[in-house]
Chains A and B, each alone.
Chain A
Amino acid sequence: MSAVARSYFEDVTVEHVEETPALTLTEAHVSIYHGLTRELAPDPALVPDLLPLCFTPGLGWRVPKPPLEVLAFMGLDWQVLRQLRVGDTIHSRSRIASKRSMRDGGVVVEEREVIDQRGEVVQRGRFTYLVAKRSKENQA
């Protein structure tokens, strides 16, 4: 087994809140996203609505902690409250809403918000993951 520290279903604490560092949305981000997806842009200064959502997992990776052993991303409910523009700076805040143990792993529901430089929530929703349990060989 690798020696890399990981966190498991057992390590997830309901109500735990995490706030990420921020990211300024640039023309480069929008341009790469358009090239990748070919989602057409009515105005190049507008940030495609799914892009801030796509940034939230990566923002979470910038919080120093052992990565959660996610087996699968199961579902997503998401609301877009306000249009973002190039130059806006976003960060993400998340809260563990619930966890449910299953035979092979467990389901974790996380509420997540995207917040702009004015402190306004611009997008929000819920992520549902299947997370691995600590197996015997992973036990510390």
Chain B
Amino acid sequence: MAELRRYFDEIQTGEEYESPGRTVTETDIVIFAGLSGDYNVLHTDAEFMKQSIFGERIAHGLLGLAIQAGLFTRATPAYATLAFVGLRWKFKGPIKIGDTIRLKAKVLAKKETEKPDRGLVTVQRMVVNQRDEVVQEGETDLIVERKP
């Protein structure tokens, strides 16, 4: 099966994408705690969290970041990405069990690099919940292959 991959030349500054929604479940949080070894009470102690400002357990911030990376692949055909090189990210609000998050992304900038066969694409990303509140946002830098 021919895989559709978009080259640096084909990606336009200003392009916007929106992903399908994904409901974040207790299972996601439990699996992520087990995988990452991050058992902070914020994510694992329901009784303790009843007394907190959040009132209940919340998803790991990095789980939200990881889920949005997956949502990006469902929002647009894959880039011909050679490397993910960096991100600048803000955690604005909690993702609670049962929240449904979506990714809204926009190509912010394209830059030439020293190597002629590739370019740098900066994508602005907003993770919103079912109430359209921004729970995470930031920018990611990707090195994308040019059309051979």
Contact = CB atoms under 8 A, between A and B. Distances in A.
Contact of A36 (B61, B66, B138): B66
A54 B89 contact: no
A40 B89 contact: no
A78 interface: yes
Contacts of B67: 36-37
Contacts of B84: 49-50, 80
Classify chain A: how many residues form its interface, as a range.
35 or more
Given A33-B66, A54-B36, A80 B83 contact: yes
In terms of DSSP, what is the predominant structure of the interface of chain A? mixed
B87 A78 contact: yes
A39 to B, nearest CB: 4
A57 B91 contact: no
A39 B89 contact: no
Given A33-B66, A78-B89, A79-B86, A38 B73 contact: yes
Contact of A80 (B60, B86, B138): B86
B74 interface: yes
Nearest to A76: B89
A54 B31 contact: no
A58 B91 contact: no
A53 B36 CA distance: 9
A44 to B, nearest CB: 15
Interface stretch (A7-15, A66-74, A106-114): A66-74
Contact of A50 (B31, B48, B65, B90): B65
B135 to A, nearest CB: 12
A59 B74 CA distance: 30
B37 A58 contact: yes
Contacts of B39: 58, 61
A8 B26 CA distance: 28
B42 interface: yes
Contact of A61 (B37, B70, B89): B37
Q: Which 10 interchain pairs have the tightest Cβ spacing?
A: A58-B37, A37-B70, A38-B70, A73-B61, A49-B84, A57-B38, A58-B36, A39-B70, A76-B89, A79-B86
Given A33-B66, A80-B84, 15 more contacts: A36-B63, A36-B66, A36-B70, A40-B73, A54-B62, A57-B37, A57-B62, A58-B39, A61-B37, A61-B38, A70-B42, A76-B61, A77-B86, A77-B87, A80-B83
26 contacts: A32-B31, A33-B35, A38-B73, A39-B69, A48-B69, A50-B65, A50-B69, A54-B60, A54-B66, A57-B37, A57-B60, A58-B36, A61-B37, A61-B38, A62-B37, A67-B41, A70-B40, A73-B61, A73-B91, A74-B90, A75-B88, A76-B65, A76-B87, A76-B90, A77-B89, A80-B83
